[in-house]
Amino acid sequence: LRDGPLKGKRILITSGPTHEPIDPVRYIANRSSGAQGTAIANALAALGADVVFVTGPADAARPRGVEIVEVQSAREMLEAVETALPADAAVFAAAVADWRVASASDSKIKKDGMGKLPVLEFAENPDILATVSQMKAGRPGLVVGFAAETDDVVAHATAKRERKQCDWIVANDVSPETGIMGGSENQVVVISDQGAEAWPRMGKDQVAKRLAAEISTALQE
């Protein structure tokens, strides 16, 4: 066991995008780099936690000194999360695809040569954060979700916290003029049953460190 205030605590993190298959060679994805989730995993490991890092196919270098579970799709991510539980805390930083292709083709979809276009039908993916938040048995003691918003950040994130029933929501404004998406800085509002706390703008690594410290404090209580 590692030393530090989180020694002996098991913490699950989801991170990165998911890839939803269209056929064996094509997929639908999003632009999540996995940077913030990776920084949080590193910060929690530095405090001595046993971290399980469930990641979609992200560009970011994998965190060090943690257990890594690689998945592709949202449904695989949910399965990996359920396998990794129980945990003392869970942080859901992944950008999970809301929809998957309803019936992905087993073989590569071909052009028919007559100009007929394929039509994709979608099905809704499971909401991993809501599923874990609403577990009747074995729910982690602290469940943290994220919310990327472009307007009315606090109102939308507060509603999201209530709808999903997580303990904290880390919300940020990803409007293009903030330069946050794809940048190295972040400005977040942390919403809990204590209300909304706006943190100053700081590096994503600093956000990760402060969040890890607050998780540590919450788990000691």
Binding-site residue positions for CTP: 98, 108, 126-129, 146, 160, 164
Give whichever of 127 and 205 is closer to ligand C5P, judged by the CB atom.
Answer: 127
The two structure tokens encoding residue 45 = 């490991």
Task: State in angstroms the smallest separation of the CB of 116 from ligand C5P.
Answer: 32
Which residues are CB-neighbours of 106 under 8 A, at least 6 positions away? Answer: 23, 24
Burial of 137 (0-12, 13-18, 19+ CB in 10 A): exposed
The two structure tokens encoding residue 119 = 């039509």
Give whichever of 49 and 54 is closer to ligand C5P, judged by the CB atom.
Answer: 54
Rounded Cα distance between 220 and 47, Å, is 13
Give whichever of 129 and 208 is closer to ligand C5P, judged by the CB atom.
Answer: 129
Give me the helix-helix angle, 35-46 and 204-220, nearest 10°.
50
Rounded Cα distance between 71 and 13, Å, is 13
The residues that touch ligand C5P, with contacts defined as CB under 6 A, are 14, 74, 92, 94, 96, 125, 127-129, 145-147, 160
Q: Kindly name the residue from 30, 125, 172, 186 that is annotated as catalytic.
A: 30
Please, are residues 128 and 96 in contact by the beta-carbon 8 Å criterion? yes
42 flagged as catalytic: no
Task: State in angstroms the smallest separation of the CB of 91 from ligand C5P.
Answer: 8
- Report, as residue numbers or ranges, the catalytic residues: 30
